[in-house]
Structure 1
Amino acid sequence: MTFYDVTVPISNAMITWPSDPAVSITGTSLISRGDFCNLSELKIGSHCGTHIDAPSHFLENGRTIDQLALENLIGEATVFEFKNKENIDVSDIKQLRFDNVKRVLFKTVNSSYWKFSTFKKDFVYLTKDAAQYLVDKGIRLVGVDYLSVEKFESQLAETHHTLLRNDVIILEGLDLSNVERGRYELIALPLKIKDGDGSPARVVLKST
């Protein structure tokens, strides 16, 4: 049995979405300066690093992060890999087999972008039609390996809306660099933030 931690570490130097709050981790109590213990203050956006989008991220009355069903966040998932793609379109999705698949993770060149210190605008994204096809196939969770499932600077956020209005959980910011395509056991747990629109998550894959 092998475990793969596909979570991007949260740090002051991490890449964030350009309009999101920067990460700030400050030691407010330090043993090294004579304090009783180490204690830090964390300032982060709800969608920093590896995180989960709740429907309420884009839908006024959508389900919040603390209302997500655990059975959709834990269970068998399939990693599909796409190479040399600008986007993942419905024609790409139709080539895949979804027999008994409820959770999909897409590995692309995006996973290599985490080594850069600046945000990459030309990341691989999922098109609206591809998202609708996944909905029609009964997929309950979609994971991608950069900070958004959506094309950068999309004005309508159609991919997000297509998935979230159908209660499909969006898992963004994965690092799948060390994971081969295939089936795994997924554990993706966000912080239980009351009425939250999203949350950072620790995400682990276990070989089956």
Structure 2
Amino acid sequence: MKRIWDISPQVSEQSPIFPGDEPFRLKWTARLSADCPVNLSAITMSPHVGAHADAPLHYANGAASSAEVELQAYLGPCRVIHAINCGPLIQIEHLRHAAALMPARVLVRCCQSADTEWNPDFSAFAPDTVDWLAGLGVKLIGLDTPSVDPASSKLLASHQQLLRLNLRVLENLVLDEVAEGDYELIALPLKLAGACASPVRAILREL
């Protein structure tokens, strides 16, 4: 059996979220009893809670929703690159050491351990780095922080680079136990009509 790394955080009411976003909530609509054969729950949450795939609709009106994105980018060979404690922005210099024969999917580990509480001082992608990766043939980028843009950004320059270059993105991953190297990524978004993002159960599998 090939080894699997689960790179998704647990989603709960304690999951960190952007201020003002909709937190995870679960309620029971039916409970197993003599009169009911099942437990049945309902959840409400932003699709950006936990590991998730932004859809282009998140940063462009009229762009593809989660139900409309093609799936190829979310499945296949992937490289994990360490840029731990790289500072506010992931620069090209932080990734250049792993650029040879780059696969179409790149995940960057920025954190020694992924945050379990909201922390606005996370690492994001420099727009030039997104452009450089696309030039190497990358179709999907991901990282272990809440966003490819800084929390204070109003222009979302890296998201706009994703749109211009037709790249896909995964955010809020957990790469604490993952060594640098090549893996198979499986992180399919749900087919959510009209949604700006989708939760994913992201895993890496040894090649």
Aligned partners of 2:148 and 2:159 also within 8 Å: yes
The one of 114, 118, 136 equivalent to 1:112 is 114
Change (3 A) 1:93 1:178: closer
Q: CA deviation at 1:131?
A: 1.3
After superposition, residues 20-35 of structure 1 pair within 5 angstroms as 20-31=21-32, 35=36
Matched, 1:144 2:143: yes
RMSD: 1.7
Distance 1:175 1:33, change over 3 A: farther
Distance (Å, rounded) in 2 between the aligned partners of 1:196 and 1:44:
12
**TM-score (normalizing by structure 1):** 0.92
- d(CA) in 2 for partners of 1:194, 1:112: 30
Say yes or no: does 1:182 pair with 2:184.
no
Question: 1:13 maps to what in 2?
Answer: 14
Task: Give 4+ residue runs of structure 1 displaced > 4 Å after superposition.
Answer: none
Q: How many residues align?
A: 205
Structure-1 separation of matches of 2:98 and 2:162: 18
Partner Cα distance (2:133, 2:34) in 1: 54
Identity of aligned residues (%): 29
Residue deviations 1:96-155 (CA, integer Å, cap 9, x gap): 3141411000012164313xxx30111111111111212222210001102111111101
Q: Which has the higher helix share?
A: 1
Structure 2 Cα separation of the partners of residues 21 and 137 of structure 1: 36
TM-score, reference length from structure 2: 0.92
Q: How does 1:1-208 map to 2 (within 5 A)?
A: 1-31=2-32, 35-86=36-87, 87-109=89-111, 111-114=113-116, 118-208=117-207
CA distance in 1, matches of 2:157, 2:35: 53
Name the CA shift for 1:99/1:56 in 2 (closer, same or farther; >3 Å): same
Residues 143 and 174, structure 1, Cα contact 8 Å, conserved in 2: yes
